[in-house]
Structure 1
């Protein structure tokens, strides 16, 4: 039943294309959504509109995404729209819930336990067949097992597809180890992460009563990031649907960056062929990126199958042309980036609005040191989750304890007093160490209190912190963010510094086939489109493994879209010279067309 005047409110603020997608309540629907085009907004408003109009019953809607954090954010947005009861989960969480529910009925026993450490189990399996393997090799074998399962291959089919072996293991040894791993797992009555999807799919296929119950429970499906769906996930989705077509998929083929892990963008590219009656809506207006940034992104993906050509909704005059700067070596590049970040902060930029992105995690150490030299606090994305940090757990526990007693001061003053009791000081420690990171985490909690709505109590504040922890809705610490391009996917900052854009780093040296290089191109695209206002691209000629040249991606984009900046002209160069004028002269990117 519609909730009075809520229908119009749900659709208010959507542009024409977004509204078209949000009002297409019956599937199949395919929403091709470019970076910053509001795909999550469309998904949640579409579900809310379906509930408002009576087309959907909330408990019969499943919204599937790829990370627990994204699922939590989706639930939060739906709650803000007045919608509760929708199942917003990852593929694995949904499959595990179904497995635990139906397994006792089907098998007459509790569901098997989940392997908590695949590498450790592999090490035990390797010992059992006389193999002494180091941890990196075991990790590579674990990745191979994951790829084999999500692409729905047997061990023998894996050997045919990847005949070169892993490290010092020939393919037969890899096969033997995989068989030993599966045998040990069965003996211990365990399932690994991928087995959860396989077992759930197998149960629905083999048990008509399970299939009927699942399809009766969930009638309307939405899948976010559909370009990242693997063959196994797609098969499970087909089984959930049965013969129905009430499916909405949302994605962007230009952001397919997990092909190495089994993601298959063809499911998005060929959606209309698989569903001839599908309604396709293209969202090509970016509300995130400035026009000059989008020009770089568009040039990077020009001519690629399925690539959207984005236009900016932002004021073009407010944003500068993105720059590219070359340095003689990695240390000079790190110092140059740190100087540029310092200049942005000095000009009034919030550190939280600045990110430094790179291809490989190993690139972070030199950048962290250069930022610390300038007393700029930085956080590396991909470490412990905010609410899992020991100092945050201690602070939340202390706040929870204080919330049961009467307070003498106001809410914010009480929060400040509690945080001081667990280590928060008025003045921050020097940047670049664990003490500063702990201080920033506690300060982020205080900032949440300072920004809380009027009349917030300590009890409601701590309740909100617990809800945030559950949904992985983490506050941003007042630090510059360092992240790999993979970790940065789905995030955005006002100012982005894309570093190491050189041959051997981006594209990475082991990308040798056309498909692998194209995946690297899409990674570069993800990096570019994280920038809302300014984009700086940097590279260095010298590295530990010899001389490099600027990335082919920069050369293809060309100087009509990227402005070449001499390293000596960058902020801070007068005090720390990073490169001579000849360091970039003659090596600047050239127009590819």
Structure 2
């Protein structure tokens, strides 16, 4: 087990050893922010500055919180409260509510759209499901930005779907009334109720302030006004707050995220220490040239410097980002599929390749094209791995098999169970549910093959249940298709970023300076997912689209055509991406 100060660069060590007072860590993409957060907490515990039980580490997803806890365990630290904002608030409500109210806490609304539909019936409205989903999003935005219904009507007068603002207000009031009648609260109410409880009950505030003395917040650029307010209440008059974030990765403004809390941290917290992590441990210099050019002069932008060497191809030349143009989306998808197939034929693991895009609808052509060339895929953001019926069936079968004594090795026993459920030595054709089920079972077998020596079948089944609880999913040997939003926080050796055309990226409804800037940040997130190679593309389509303005900003100056049948030879470059005006002429 390594110590918390080992294997850190100068700036990371500075952040890890800054244990007291307000600290803001501006951490660029690939700069090792989770490592810094966990090593900082471990260093605080090792030096006696922190007691683990008095540390609150807050992040935004259950998966990220689980990873934080796992890394802390690896550093020998147990007992730190590493949770999401909602999980922390819910735990506090469950603890204090019975004492304050004399009864159990209200139940949580499990389906906001369904409840909205019932509320709409009660006030004589008949919106379709899509409109109800949009209204649900509006309710969420209203609450996390801490607006009343009246303030919402003033600030969002445009209406939603076929409903004008007056009917939306009526529907929101009916929704709140129905919740009260059913004694329910929704996801956002959890934060509101927790904040209200701390503000209204001095003894609750005193208990929380006594329990937690040191605070860390990950992805601070994504906090909403409501989360920022709750954090202030948790903090009280203490100053031991460390926030970590990157303004260039703010991509959830539509859901209430406000990067101003990160950008204004020094002003809000007198004497705050500012530490910049700009050394990128993920991408090659050429990829970072593209990312830096895109975000040049944007508020809070960091200038990333690569710690990696250029990634050479088989001929010893460095890959450079490329830009390719196509006649339509089908041609674009087929060319991307052909290049992926060729890369896999050269030895790349499909799991190291991703195709990223702005909207879910763009995946359809890609799925067809990749299936046509026999490349297995997984669409990120679909059903969670452990919710797949074949996986649940396999876990139950493994638990049942654990009762009987082993007749062979542990791995053989797992393989026998999975074969009884349909796993074959050779995969079925790519595309469709049969191949998806095969990939899931194969992933379970790989987990068994990677398990520590001496693992029993029962221990393996229990480990699968633990993984399911914390959303720790295995890696499938498939090419990943993902929206830019879903790709945040992940990385792949080889990234294809498609659809870089006006109307798609930036998306057509982004019309203001602020919304265009959000689209730029989304593009930046996509670019910085790439480790070794980055290929950008766009297509004219039936609407005769123009290339994205972002391509002009990153300086697409020279021409490189896509080779439909393979990877072709990389173009020499000073680091600027290369652009093609056609995909029909291969360059050898």
Give the corresponding residue for 1:498: 497
- 1:316-370 per-residue CA deviation (whole Å, 9 max, x = no partner) reads 2534110000000000000011011111101111000000000000000110000
Give the corresponding residue for 1:552: 549
| Structure-2 separation of matches of 1:25 and 1:389 | 43
Q: Tell me, yes or no, if the aligned pair for 1:336 and 1:572 is still in contact at 8 Å.
A: no
| Structure-2 separation of matches of 1:18 and 1:371 | 41
**Cα shift at 1:583:** 3.4
Q: Does 1:174 align with 2:184?
A: no
| Structure-1 separation of matches of 2:581 and 2:362 | 25
Partner of 1:481, secondary structure, is: strand
**Cα shift at 1:565:** 2.2
Give the corresponding residue for 1:110: 104
Partner of 2:89, secondary structure, is: helix
**Cα shift at 1:582:** 6.2
CA gap of 1:367–1:203, structure 2 versus 1, over 3 A, is same
**Cα shift at 1:569:** 6.1
Give the corresponding residue for 1:571: 566
**Cα shift at 1:584:** 6.5
Q: Does 1:403 align with 2:402?
A: yes
**Normalising to structure 2: TM-score of the pair?**
0.95
What does 1:38-187 align with in structure 2 at a 5 Å threshold? 38-187=32-181
| Structure-1 separation of matches of 2:426 and 2:582 | 41
Q: Tell me, yes or no, if the aligned pair for 2:370 and 2:376 is still in contact at 8 Å.
A: yes
Between 382-391 and 234-243, the greater mean CA deviation after superposition:
382-391
Give the corresponding residue for 1:435: 434
| Structure-1 separation of matches of 2:449 and 2:175 | 52
2:204 aligned residue (206, 210, 214): 210
What does 1:512-591 align with in structure 2 at a 5 Å threshold? 512-543=511-542, 546-559=543-556, 564-568=559-563, 571=566, 583=582
Q: Tell me, yes or no, if the aligned pair for 2:324 and 2:562 is still in contact at 8 Å.
A: yes
| Structure-2 separation of matches of 1:25 and 1:388 | 40
| Structure-1 separation of matches of 2:523 and 2:282 | 17
What does 1:210-229 align with in structure 2 at a 5 Å threshold? 210-229=204-223
Q: Does 1:260 align with 2:254?
A: yes
| Structure-1 separation of matches of 2:501 and 2:480 | 21
Between 458-467 and 376-385, the greater mean CA deviation after superposition:
458-467
CA gap of 1:582–1:296, structure 2 versus 1, over 3 A, is closer
Q: Tell me, yes or no, if the aligned pair for 1:37 and 1:283 is still in contact at 8 Å.
A: yes
Partner of 1:64, secondary structure, is: strand
Give the corresponding residue for 2:488: 489
CA gap of 1:295–1:572, structure 2 versus 1, over 3 A, is closer
Give the corresponding residue for 1:320: 319
Partner of 2:3, secondary structure, is: helix
**Cα shift at 1:11:** 1.1
Gaps of 5+ in 2: 313-317, 569-579
Give the corresponding residue for 2:574: none
Give the corresponding residue for 1:591: none
**Cα shift at 1:380:** 0.2
Q: Tell me, yes or no, if the aligned pair for 1:72 and 1:470 is still in contact at 8 Å.
A: no
**Cα shift at 1:473:** 1.1
CA gap of 1:44–1:582, structure 2 versus 1, over 3 A, is closer
Q: Tell me, yes or no, if the aligned pair for 1:112 and 1:191 is still in contact at 8 Å.
A: yes
Between 494-503 and 23-32, the greater mean CA deviation after superposition:
23-32
Give the corresponding residue for 2:573: none
| Structure-1 separation of matches of 2:564 and 2:349 | 23
CA gap of 1:131–1:113, structure 2 versus 1, over 3 A, is same
Partner of 1:340, secondary structure, is: helix
| Structure-1 separation of matches of 2:228 and 2:439 | 41
**Normalising to structure 1: TM-score of the pair?**
0.94
| Structure-2 separation of matches of 1:390 and 1:553 | 42
| Structure-2 separation of matches of 1:572 and 1:535 | 12
| Structure-2 separation of matches of 1:324 and 1:376 | 23
- 1:363-415 per-residue CA deviation (whole Å, 9 max, x = no partner) reads 00110000000010000000111111111111111112222321011111111
Partner of 1:425, secondary structure, is: coil
**Cα shift at 1:117:** 0.4
Partner of 1:288, secondary structure, is: coil
Q: CA RMSD in A?
A: 1.4
**Cα shift at 1:260:** 0.7
Partner of 2:503, secondary structure, is: coil
Gaps of 5+ in 1: 1-5, 574-580, 586-593
CA gap of 1:298–1:572, structure 2 versus 1, over 3 A, is closer
**Cα shift at 1:51:** 1.0
- 1:78-137 per-residue CA deviation (whole Å, 9 max, x = no partner) reads 111111111111100100110111111111111111000000000011111100110010
Q: Does 1:236 align with 2:230?
A: yes
| Structure-1 separation of matches of 2:224 and 2:82 | 19
Give the corresponding residue for 1:448: 447
Give the length in aligned residue pairs: 568
Give the corresponding residue for 1:372: 371
| Structure-2 separation of matches of 1:418 and 1:103 | 46
| Structure-1 separation of matches of 2:252 and 2:194 | 23
| Structure-2 separation of matches of 1:510 and 1:151 | 22
Q: Does 1:311 align with 2:314?
A: no
Give the corresponding residue for 1:347: 346
Partner of 1:89, secondary structure, is: strand
